[in-house]
Amino acid sequence: MTNWILGLTGGIGSGKTAASDYLASKGIAVVDSDLVARAVVEPYQPAWSAIREHFGDAAINADSSLNRGWLRQQVFANPDERRWLEQLTHPLIRARTLEMLAAATSEYVILASPLLLESGQQTLVNHTLVIDVPEDIQVQRACQRDANNEEQIRAIIKAQIPRPERLARANDVADNSGPLNQLYEQLNRLHQSYLDLAKAHHSHE
For the stretch 5-32, pLDDT in tens is: 999 999 989 999 999 999 999 999 999 9
Same domain (yes/no): 187, 126: yes
Same domain (yes/no): 40, 96: yes
Residue-wise pLDDT for 65-90, tens only, equals 999 989 988 988 899 999 999 999 99
Task: Answer with the one of 71, 88, 105 that is the final residue of a domain.
Answer: 105
Residue-wise pLDDT for 118-170, tens only, equals 888 889 999 999 999 999 999 998 888 766 688 888 888 888 889 999 999 99
Q: Is 204 domain-assigned?
A: no
Same domain (yes/no): 116, 23: yes
Q: What are the backbone angles phi and psi of residue 13, rounded to the nearest 5°?
A: 75, 10
Annotation: binding site for ATP: 13-18
pLDDT of residue 29: 98
Report the C-alpha gap between 100 and 88 in whole angstroms.
19
pLDDT of residue 195: 98
Q: Is 81 domain-assigned?
A: yes
Q: Is 6 domain-assigned?
A: yes
Mean pLDDT of 26-39: 95
pLDDT of residue 120: 83
What is the pLDDT confidence band of residue 2, given thresholds at 50, 70 and 90?
confident
Same domain (yes/no): 54, 114: no
Same domain (yes/no): 129, 144: yes
Same domain (yes/no): 189, 157: yes
Same domain (yes/no): 53, 22: no
Mean pLDDT of 44-60: 96
**Is residue 92's pLDDT more than 90?**
yes
Annotation: binding site: 13-18
Q: Is 16 domain-assigned?
A: yes
Q: Is 203 domain-assigned?
A: no
Find all residues with CB under 8 Å of 23, minimum gap 6, and list them. 8, 30, 110, 187, 191
Same domain (yes/no): 60, 96: yes
Q: Is 55 domain-assigned?
A: yes
pLDDT of residue 146: 67
Same domain (yes/no): 52, 74: yes
Same domain (yes/no): 161, 132: yes
Per the structure, the count of domains in the chain is 2
Q: Which CATH number is 191's domain given?
A: 3.40.50.300
What is the pLDDT confidence band of residue 1, given thresholds at 50, 70 and 90?
low
Task: Answer with the one of 60, 86, 105 that is the final residue of a domain.
Answer: 105
pLDDT of residue 143: 85
Domain assignment of residue 84, given as a range = 35-105
Task: Answer with the one of 64, 86, 105 that is the final residue of a domain.
Answer: 105
Same domain (yes/no): 123, 82: no
Q: Is 141 domain-assigned?
A: yes
Q: Is 146 domain-assigned?
A: yes
Same domain (yes/no): 192, 137: yes
Find all residues with CB under 8 Å of 70, minimum gap 6, and list them. 58, 59
Between 105 and 146, the higher pLDDT residue: 105
Report the C-alpha gap between 81 and 159 in whole angstroms.
19
Q: Where are the beta strands (DSSP E) in 52-181?
A: 109-112, 127-132, 172-175
Mean pLDDT of 100-112: 97
